[in-house]
Amino acid sequence: MMLDEQQLQKLLRLKRFEQPPPGYFDRTLNEFHRRQRQELLRPPAVQIWFERFLSSLWSFRVPSYAYGAAFAAFLVAATIVGSGVWAPYKEMVGTSSNLAKVASSPVIERSSYRLALSGNVDWSNFNPSSVSPHVVPVVRPSQTALPRYVLDGRPVSYEASFSF
Amino acid sequence: MGFDPLLQSKGLMDDQNLPDDEALVRQTQSGDTRAFDLLWKKYSPRIYSLIYNMTANHEDANDLLLEVFAKAYRSINGFRGKSSFYTWIHAIAVNMTINFVKKRGRRFQMSLDDLDANVQNDKEFIDLTAANTPVREVDLSELQHRLNEAMMKLSVEHRAVVTMFDIQGMAHAEIAKILGVPEATVRSRLFYAHRQLQNYLEEFRKK
């Protein structure tokens, strides 16, 4: 015979009689206090991590040849950068010669922020700001700027004379 | 709220002389740890029973009980009294136990508390064993194991509802508040869980 709903509920209520041993809740309260005290005394995780990091630094022994290797690497890097063999990037400066090149071969390919010149391109669609942030906006002087250096009545330079 | 008469008779929930929860919570919030001890005394048996019946393992219930109260203590300053402390701590316990059981998966062993000797004198037990039910045919510890095995076949959400309604005697509305679901959901979960339990227990009888 199957248990009906009421019998099942009565049966489930018998589970109230499953009890932990006497004195359990008082003992567990003591355990709770002990854990709370431990938690208060325990330093935060960041502090533990920092202390471990510091102690690992002190215990870290650098091999003697590493100093020499580091100094040699520094010398090589300084030589390369100082001699101008390598520069992080070259900006295309809007000088008159550069402008002339752009005007005569007007294809600008977007390739890792550099300008490449080849083929024919419709200049009407050219938008310098979409091509590269390094396209220098000195393509033509401002309308209001006065030529600083004039030769035979024709402006030669817009730069200050002391830079010649 | 329906406190368990069995626990009260054992002095585990002698809460008549305790200040009300609101006052205890306020005192705890102002740094009085003894007030929280009183909340522990008042609610730990119920919370333990809830966790134990959801996990069917005494050691897990013990660990989770400590974690639930530790979490409640840590977050009590954020308790604004929108619900009762009773509902709040039950919600913490149910959520933590559901997460725990889901993480534990199927890898667990039952470790059950002993049945109180008073069960033999309980009117409901006498009724059950007198009637022609599966209960009549098994001894007490076997019955305990069968019941727990049947319970553990339910999903943890269904087990939570059965524990709170059938074992702890809570009302549907109260359970709905604790679980944060509509009352209709509680009722349908109960209905489904009862059907499942009846089937499992019937299978045991046939074996």
Q: Is A115 within the bounds of a domain?
A: yes
- Say whether pLDDT at B3 is over 50: no
Q: Is A85 within the bounds of a domain?
A: no
Q: B53 CA to chain A: closest CA distance, Å?
A: 8
Q: Is A3 within the bounds of a domain?
A: no
Which of A1, A6, A9, A16 is most worth mutating to test chain B (most B CB atoms within 10 A of its CB)?
A16
Which of A2, A4, A7, A19 is most worth mutating to test chain B (most B CB atoms within 10 A of its CB)?
A19
Q: A1 CA to chain B: closest CA distance, Å?
A: 6
Tell me if A10 and B124 make a contact (CB, 8 A cut-off): yes
Tell me if A36 and B118 make a contact (CB, 8 A cut-off): no
The better pLDDT of the pair B93, B135 is held by B93
Tell me if B128 and A14 make a contact (CB, 8 A cut-off): yes
The mean pLDDT of chain B is 83
Nearest CA in chain B to A39: B70
Q: Is A101 within the bounds of a domain?
A: yes
Euclidean distance between CA atoms B7 and A154, whole angstroms: 107
CB-CB neighbors (< 8 A) of B191 in chain A: none
Residue numbers of chain A with a pLDDT score lower than 70: 1-2, 58-60, 87-123, 125-150, 157-164
pLDDT tens sequence across B19-39: 889 999 999 999 898 999 999
Sequence-distant (≥ 6) Cβ neighbours of residue B166 within 8 angstroms: A9, A12, A13
Asked if B162 is an interface residue toward chain A (Cβ–Cβ < 8 A), one would say yes
Tell me if A14 and B134 make a contact (CB, 8 A cut-off): no
Q: Is A143 within the bounds of a domain?
A: yes
How many angstroms from the chain centroid is the CA of residue B205? 26
What pLDDT is attached to residue B10? 45
Domain of A112 in residue numbering reads as 96-163
Q: Is A154 within the bounds of a domain?
A: yes
Q: B169 CA to chain A: closest CA distance, Å?
A: 8
Q: Is A12 within the bounds of a domain?
A: no
CB-CB neighbors (< 8 A) of A9 in chain B: 166, 194
How many Cβ atoms sit within 10 Å of the Cβ of residue B89?
A: 26
What domains can be seen in chain B, in order of their start residue?
A: 1-107 (1.10.1740.10), 118-207 (1.10.10.10)
Which among A131, A2, A104, A62 is positioned nearest to B195, based on CA atoms? Answer: A2
Which of A2, A3, A26, A40 is most worth mutating to test chain B (most B CB atoms within 10 A of its CB)?
A3
pLDDT tens sequence across B54-97: 998 899 999 999 999 999 999 999 898 889 999 999 999 999 99
* Domain count of the fold of chain A: 1
Q: What is the DSSP string of A82-148?
A: HHTS--S---B---HHHHHHHHHS-----BTTB----S---GGG--HHHH-TTB-S-SS--TTPPPS
**Segment 79-98 of chain B within 8 Å of chain A by CB:** none
Sequence-distant (≥ 6) Cβ neighbours of residue B204 within 8 angstroms: B134, B146, B149, B150
Tell me if B6 and A17 make a contact (CB, 8 A cut-off): yes
What pLDDT is attached to residue A32? 93
Tell me if ipTM is over 0.85. no
- Say whether pLDDT at B99 is over 90: yes
CB-CB neighbors (< 8 A) of B113 in chain A: 18-21
Q: Is A100 within the bounds of a domain?
A: yes
pTM of the model: 0.62
